[in-house]
Amino acid sequence: MKDVASAAGVALKTVSRVVNGEPGVHPETAERVRAAIDLLGYSRNESARVLRSGRTATIGLVIEDVADPFYAGLSRAVEDVVIEHGCLLLSGSSGEEPTRERELVETFCARRVDGIIVVPAGDDHTYLRAELEAGTAVVFADRPPGAGIDVDTVIVDNAGGAARAVRHLREHGHRRIAFLGDDPAIFTAAERLRGYREALGELYDPALVSMRSPSPAGVRDDLDRLFALDDPPTALFTGNGRYTMTTLRALRGRRVPLVGFDDFELADLMEPGVTVVAQDPARMGKVAAELLFHRLRGEGGPAERVELPVNLIVRGSGELPTPR
């Protein structure tokens, strides 16, 4: 900047004004400065700008895993909003490990990001308190923060969606509906279990519930156990996209009535098409990012909790006749 200034025959501050598009520079002077910038191939050192101004124009995003289509969709939507606001996105995958979640958040904070969007892996977020007081904007997505932390949160209607799936199967005559889902320590899994249970009412039978991380072998074992029951399930409700795919694989073509939570690519091309309760990851990302920038603009108010709707997509698997 100093070099540009002397090349253009102005003071350093004038160059700063031109670079930042600040008013109060004579058009001709500005032109001269721009010429010098081009000539020298100058580009502003953002680190210095950040150090002085305090604004990094950077947003941090912590998710479970970018390689998961759900979070990939969410990431892309967040990224688009972030770029639109002239900021850049630092992102990291926690891999469902609370320690890693915390490390990522703290590293982002050390870099003084303006705001953070977190899909939490753990359930203790008291470590965020200092950052929140320091003015870092935080939005939780997909899952709410742990007790004692009150920040904007965007989730979907997990219980309602699960209930919708169960009602759909009941309307097709099923009374024995199994639920295969993630560990209920994960918020979304617990909520979906709640919706499943409420929609079943007195038909609820804990023997039909199996919750754990969806390994192929584990799901196979669970299905074997379920179908070996005296009163086996006539339909399945799977608790997330990965679970649905693993279950379909374990079923090896057996035509069992099934509704899955989460839509996924090619669900329509399966035979039969897979009926799902779909959520919209891109929508969730967009809403979370916009909420964040809303806060950044200082438009305060108490922490908001947005609940996004889900959507039943009927494709065939949920409407199969009861087996045997």
Partner DNA sequence: ATGAAAGCGCTAACAG
Partner DNA sequence: CTGTTAGCGCTTTCAT
Question: Which residue, 53 or 215, is less far from DNA as judged by CB?
Answer: 53
φ/ψ bin of 277: left (φ > 0), alpha (ψ from -120 to 50), beta (otherwise): beta
Using rule CB under 8 A, residue 21 touches its own copies:
no
Using rule CB under 8 A, residue 147 touches its own copies:
no
Using rule CB under 8 A, residue 217 touches its own copies:
no
Question: Which residue, 13 or 255, is less far from its own copies as judged by CB?
Answer: 255
Q: Which amino acid is it at 57?
A: A
Query: CA-to-CA distance for 233 and 210, rounded, in angstroms?
Result: 12
Query: CA-to-CA distance for 245 and 222, rounded, in angstroms?
Result: 15
Query: CA-to-CA distance for 124 and 134, rounded, in angstroms?
Result: 19
Question: Which residue, 18 or 193, is less far from its own copies as judged by CB?
Answer: 18
Using rule CB under 7 A, residue 324 touches DNA:
no
Q: What is the largest CA-CA distance in the chain?
A: 90
Query: Which of 51, 88, 185, 314 contacts DNA by CB under 7 A?
Result: 51
Query: CA-to-CA distance for 140 and 116, rounded, in angstroms?
Result: 8
Tokens of residue 126, six digits: 């008291």
Alpha helix positions (H), the chain: 2-8, 12-19, 27-40, 46-53, 69-84, 98-110, 129-133, 158-171, 187-200, 216-227, 241-251, 281-296
Using rule CB under 8 A, residue 85 touches its own copies:
no
Query: CA-to-CA distance for 160 and 169, rounded, in angstroms?
Result: 14
Using rule CB under 8 A, residue 107 touches its own copies:
yes
Query: Which of 22, 31, 46, 307 contacts its own copies by CB under 8 A?
Result: 46
Using rule CB under 8 A, residue 269 touches its own copies:
yes
The residue behind tokens 């470590």 is 127
Using rule CB under 7 A, residue 52 touches DNA:
yes
**259, β-bridge pairs:** 237, 275
Q: Which stretch in 25-33, 139-147, 154-162, 242-250 sits in contact with DNA by CB under 7 A?
A: 25-33
Q: Which stretch in 143-151, 182-190, 260-268, 312-320 sits in contact with its own copies by CB under 8 A?
A: 260-268
Query: Which of 13, 39, 84, 111 contacts its own copies by CB under 8 A?
Result: 111
19 binds, among DNA, its own copies, none (CB under 5 to 8 A by kind): DNA
Give the binding site for its own copies (CB under 8 A). 41, 43-48, 50-51, 56, 58, 65-69, 72-73, 75-76, 79, 83, 88-93, 106-112, 130, 245, 248-249, 253, 264-266, 268-271, 282
